[in-house]
A = this chain, B = another copy of it.
Amino acid sequence: MIICKVVKPLVSTNRIPDFEHKHLQVVLDGSTQKVAVDAVGCIPGDWVICVGSSAAREAAGSKSYPSDLTIVGIIDHWDPEAAKVLASNAAPASAAATANGGKA
């Protein structure tokens, strides 16, 4: 699951019927904006857990719901600054390529 910040609701009048009337939220995944189905009732500014892959369908309510990103929980306390410090101190396995690039 990824940690995202809720930005705002997304309005899409012309959409497939399978989406029903569930709320769509624009969320920030790092600096990329994505769209997630809201299964918990969150508001802009909330830090949330989003599930992707095929699990996003069941999390949105049913196996046939066409979501690939669903908000499944609101994080009680999240400090993005602490997260950044942690990330810059740690440079495990998969960070190697990025780290080398950064030395250019």
User: Which of the residues B69, B73, B77, B100 comes within 8 Å of A31, measured between beta carbons?
Assistant: B100
A residues with CB within 8 A of B: 1-5, 7, 10-16, 18-19, 24, 26, 28-36, 39-41, 47, 49, 51-59, 64-70, 72-78, 80, 83-84, 86-88, 90-104
The answer to whether B66 and A72 have CB atoms under 8 Å apart is yes
User: Hey, which chain B residues are within 8 Å of A104, CB to CB?
Assistant: 101-104
Q: Are A75 and B11 in contact (CB under 8 A)?
A: yes
- Is A96 a contact partner of B102 (Cβ separation < 8 A)? no
Residues of B with C-beta under 8 A to A77: 11
Contact B80 A93 (CB under 8 A): yes
B28 near A90 with CB under 8 A, answer: yes
